[in-house]
Structure 1
């Protein structure tokens, strides 16, 4: 067994070989590419894990993970550390406007024979839940004016840390700036604790309609319904290579009902895929 040496934090760095092992592992497990330019970012995020495990250096950490059998216990934490979780309420707002004006009305017309059909919406890279709760607010506003449908929302992510925040539904007050004022009044509760950072919480009525579960998009199958109406998969494919992008999209589309919609990020593309969809708006695709 190697003996780890105590190294001052500022002088301690991941070796190129150990960073390569981490990058390969993350690529295999969750499909995210970590080029050498991300080494300093990974170091910065891993320092907390070193402290939590009481390990003196990156060398000791990698020894624990790769050579002393710690990978099974550490993998979920390592994934949490290296995944990027950029999210905002009403991010790329035109998608939510389209959902309200066109997508949901089209879906309801196609199911006009059903009494109050249940719309299923899936935020497939939900991060801390801002996207899922934005969807919930938009649908709640529609339901206030037309009581002819029900809805349920699923948020999935590979990071257990962000899923825990989504389940709690608590956010820094500054994060909800994009939420329209009338929706803030209806769907957010403000913290009354003095002296602490201002926070808001999603109202219980919406939290009950959104559930969060861990899912690795690289899994070969997803344990969810195959009659989902709308799937959001925005700003995550950019971290995958082309083959993994096509495989993930194919699996997700298989969970859409015929006529259901897949929404990608505006910087993402499905060019070159043979998946049975047609484009109906920028970054919006309908299953044939």
Structure 2
């Protein structure tokens, strides 16, 4: 047994045990290098809070022992890195978040994409949620497209969700959510695409219907990778509220790589607090935070 595996204590009850400034700085540097996410000093208590549960799972006695595992033991960092990434990455997501983007997609983007491919019989539209978290965005996209297919029946679609965190990808594949999380789903879509348990418990949960789950695929992807192993004829890419966590040079590199996966005329959607400023990619803005590859 390695020297850092000692009897666990309840760290949440120990006000004297904290993540040292030195170990936080090393973790912040590591996360920045591996996944591009900025962890300024103001995030130290947040990181500390998220790591407490992980330390208990490992049976470690203190944050210092966790630092030993990461930085002062052979092979510890390699084995622990995926769990560290899962613990410190932020996974804020909602169904139909920033709803004006979904309205734009329905009324402008999809009709224009279909018009450009009118010579094809039932073209396949590909939409990529590039920081999908637990899948709320990917399933929101799928609900909207499924409704459009039901009305028009002249195209097919596939949705890809990617994220760095294996934990949230697993939840996306299960497609099980707290009932209160699906409140933003429009009532008509709710009745078609969401299943409720016959005997809801104290914390009611719902699940996306299997017909929709089959059209959404989840894969792990680090946006900091030099290349992405996915199709290069994607019609729409959602990259919303992600770039704000990256350094400027990393923002530009990620946008450039993603745009290279868009078909000519395809669209990139960013968060409303983000922009294309500082990138060398030639895009045409068609709506707030919506850009078209030219």
Pick the TM interval, shorter chain. Answer: over 0.9
1:53 maps to 58
Aligned-residue CA RMSD (Å): 1.4
Partner of residue 158 from structure 1, selected from 146, 161, 164 = 164
Q: Is the 8 A contact 2:130 2:163 kept in 1?
A: yes
1:126 maps to 132
Structure 2 CA distance, aligned partners of 1:172 and 1:6? 31
Partner of residue 276 from structure 1, selected from 261, 282, 285 = 282
1:107 maps to 113
| SS, match of residue 169 in structure 2 | helix
The answer for unaligned runs of 5 or more in structure 2 is none
Structure 2 CA distance, aligned partners of 1:194 and 1:109? 45
Structure 1 CA distance, aligned partners of 2:132 and 2:200? 31
Partner of residue 31 from structure 1, selected from 26, 36, 58 = 36
Normalised to the residue count of structure 1, the TM-score between the two structures is 0.97
Q: Is the 8 A contact 2:131 2:161 kept in 1?
A: yes
2:200 is aligned with 1:173: no
| SS, match of residue 15 in structure 2 | helix
| SS, match of residue 231 in structure 2 | coil
1:201 maps to 207
2:226 is aligned with 1:225: no
- The alpha carbon displacement at 1:6 in A equals 7.7
Q: Is the 8 A contact 2:8 2:56 kept in 1?
A: no
2:256 is aligned with 1:243: no
Deviates most, 17-26 or 194-203? 194-203
Structure 2 CA distance, aligned partners of 1:142 and 1:5? 57
The answer for unaligned runs of 5 or more in structure 1 is none
Q: Is the 8 A contact 1:5 1:57 kept in 2?
A: no
Q: Is the 8 A contact 2:127 2:236 kept in 1?
A: yes
Q: Is the 8 A contact 1:124 1:157 kept in 2?
A: yes
Partner of residue 148 from structure 2, selected from 139, 142, 145 = 142
Label 1:163 to 1:6 Cα distance change in 2 as closer, same or farther (>3 A): closer
Label 1:118 to 1:63 Cα distance change in 2 as closer, same or farther (>3 A): same
Structure 2 CA distance, aligned partners of 1:64 and 1:101? 52
